[in-house]
Amino acid sequence: MPLSRPIALACAAVACLLAGCSGGRDDLVNVVFIGEPEEFEQTGLRLSPAAQHLRAATAEGLVALDATGGVVPAVAERWVVTDDGLSYIFRLRNSRWSDGTQIEAEHVRDELRGILRRLRGTSLGRDLDKVSEVRAMTGRVVEIRLTSPLPDLLQILAQPELGLRRGGEGTGPMAATETEDGWLLQPRPPETRGLPEVPEWNERIRQVHVRALPARAAVDAFDAGEADLVLNGTLANLPLADVGALSRGTVRLDAALGLFGLRVRSGEGLLGDAARREALAMAIDRPQLLQPFNIGGWVPTTRIVAPGLPDDIGTIDERWSDLSPEARRTLAARRIAGWLGAEEGRTARVTLALPQGPGSDLLFSGLAEDFAAIGVALERADDPREADLVLVDRVARYGGARWFLNQFACDLRGGLCSPEADARVEEALSAQNPMVRSALYAEAEAELAASNVYIPIGAPIRWSLVRGGVEGFRENRWNIHPLLPLAMRPI
């Protein structure tokens, strides 16, 4: 008879223990991204998490992110920033393109200019709006000039989409070969990338195989010892991460920075007024909403911009802090009832699009209960384009208010927006004084909050499964886990 899932997992775990549980080889690290195989495709401007990691491994930018999420040298071996913060000057290391030609400043300048052109009209492109010029100063020196200081420029330049390529080929720390079900990555010797030679390099590194699987299949592969690392877990599939006491792996949570909430797409009917949209936001019991997930340390928020960022001047507080949850819901229910009673035949109903998964089912149930408490029926929508509300679950690129505000820019057409907020962000582009910039960002957040085009819930949830013996994995707030450190053998 077929084994039940718990018994099958137990047998697989015991077999894994007896076999050493390394996927059958100690010279290969098997990495699975939760997703679909086509997510490794690198066409288009918005890369999936799987494609981001593949791009970062094969095409470095001027700088890169290390395993802790910190900015480190890459194609640029060092840099200086002028005192006014308006010029970043990069010295390129002595390295070559994949075809063997020397990497020159003119090549880097042309590639960066092309990337900036292609990113126009995207949120990442808006993050780089302050770049006024990219110049090749000498053979190995590149300058980036800004219209006003951008303290997060290095963090933005480290994004995988800013990886430098020539003829579609990059100069990353790993060489990739496509396989039947994914990609095989081989660490490149440091001396081939303009870096000092590392003694016994081949003995210190392993190959990394990456592939993509749906969430349940990814967890099953980990259970069976066919994967050493599972990446890109979200709240939608978090309930699948409990793989039992016999598993030698552990669930690791990134304290991710970013957005997790509901974007309002429809401005008609019940959602046609900011006060009624606010009623939905007031109805949500945020701490209770995520209680079923038992996530330690997760902090709910009613703010759009994450609290406590370096450019947070402290003028924006959590909303409705002077009202108890019961008082908030009473006020919200009154607004909904007033709208229902103003015209015969009205129904208080909204639709919500969520990704598939058991976590999404739990989230929907909690939200439906909260909305029902104020007289609003919540229904599930399959197509986000036809839904009144959509879930925003996005990790930040950098820790600045500007990133959060740019996600709701009107020209991105992701849903309802605030032209007034956009105007304040635009003003900040030319502001030289950091306090003035921060004040403009605070005004923009206040405008967005008043328009209630986004209903914040808290920070995004990202989880991984990591087997013992995998080196180089570190939790970080950007949910970026470079593949080269994973290739290092345990010492």
DSSP 244-271: -TT-SEEEEEE---EEEEEEE---SGGG
Residues 306 and 430 in one domain: yes
The model's pLDDT over 270-321, given as tens digits with 9 standing for 90+, comes to 999 999 999 999 999 999 999 999 888 888 999 999 999 999 999 999 999 9
Phi, psi of 312 (to 5 degrees): -85, 115
Residue 193: CATH number of its domain = 3.40.190.10
Mean pLDDT of 192-203: 90
Q: Give residue 67's pLDDT.
A: 96
Q: Give residue 306's pLDDT.
A: 96
Q: Give residue 25's pLDDT.
A: 55
Residue 6: how many other CB atoms lie within 10 Å: 10
Q: Residue 391 forms beta bridges with which residues?
A: 262
Residues 324 and 440 in one domain: yes
Q: Give residue 325's pLDDT.
A: 93
Which of 132, 153, 171 lies at the terminal end of a domain, its last residue?
A: 171
Residue 234: how many other CB atoms lie within 10 Å: 23
Q: Mean of the per-residue pLDDT values for the chain?
A: 91
How far is the CA of 439 from the CAs of 128, 327, 405, 424, 431, in angstroms? 20, 31, 13, 9, 10
On the question of pLDDT at 120 being above 60, the answer is yes
**How far separated are the first and last CA of the chain, in Å rounded?**
44
What is the arrangement of strands in the sheet containing 141-146, beginning at the earlier edge strand? Answer: 76-81, 87-92, 141-146, 131-138
Rounded to whole angstroms, how far apart are CA atoms 218 and 305?
A: 33
Q: Residue 88 forms beta bridges with which residues?
A: 81, 144
Residue 105: CATH number of its domain = 3.90.76.10
Number of compact structural domains in the chain:
3
Rounded to whole angstroms, how far apart are CA atoms 292 and 2?
A: 31
Residues 243 and 212 in one domain: yes
The model's pLDDT over 413-454, given as tens digits with 9 standing for 90+, comes to 889 999 999 999 999 999 999 999 999 999 999 999 999 999
Residues 330 and 449 in one domain: yes
Residues 357 and 396 in one domain: yes
Phi, psi of 374 (to 5 degrees): -110, 10
Residue 390: CATH number of its domain = 3.10.105.10
Rounded to whole angstroms, how far apart are CA atoms 426 and 360?
A: 36
On the question of pLDDT at 185 being above 70, the answer is yes
Contact 219, 243 (CB under 8 A): yes
Residues 410 and 471 in one domain: no
Residues 98 and 224 in one domain: no
Residues 308 and 361 in one domain: yes
Taken as a whole, the chain contains a residue count of: 491
More confident residue, 25 or 135: 135
Confidence of residue 10 (pLDDT cuts 50, 70, 90): very low
Rounded to whole angstroms, how far apart are CA atoms 6 and 356?
A: 23
Q: Give residue 124's pLDDT.
A: 95
Rounded to whole angstroms, how far apart are CA atoms 364 and 375?
A: 16
Residues 426 and 491 in one domain: no
Rounded to whole angstroms, how far apart are CA atoms 470 and 491?
A: 11
Q: By mean pLDDT, which of 82-86, 152-156, 249-253, 259-263 is the weakest?
A: 249-253
pLDDT above 90: percentage of residues in the chain: 82
Read off the pTM. 0.91
On the question of pLDDT at 248 being above 80, the answer is no
Mean pLDDT of 224-248: 82
Structure tokens at 42: 């690198």
Rounded to whole angstroms, how far apart are CA atoms 463 and 467?
A: 13
Mean pLDDT of 207-232: 95
Mean pLDDT of 381-407: 96
Q: Residue 79, SS3? A: strand
- Beta strand ranges found along 202-326 (DSSP E): 207-213, 229-233, 249-254, 258-264
Question: Beta strand pairing status for 454-458 and 229-233?
Answer: unpaired
Rounded to whole angstroms, how far apart are CA atoms 232 and 361?
A: 19
Q: What domain range is 225 assigned to? A: 1-58+172-256+461-491
On the question of pLDDT at 338 being above 90, the answer is yes
Residues 265 and 399 in one domain: yes
How far is the CA of 173 from the CAs of 44, 192, 324, in angstroms? 23, 9, 54
Residues 347 and 453 in one domain: yes
On the question of pLDDT at 13 being above 60, the answer is no
Residues 48 and 167 in one domain: no
Which of 171, 203, 219 lies at the terminal end of a domain, its last residue?
A: 171
Rounded to whole angstroms, how far apart are CA atoms 378 and 42?
A: 36
On the question of pLDDT at 7 being above 60, the answer is no
Which of 171, 186, 208 lies at the terminal end of a domain, its last residue?
A: 171
Q: Give residue 44's pLDDT.
A: 67
On the question of pLDDT at 2 being above 80, the answer is no
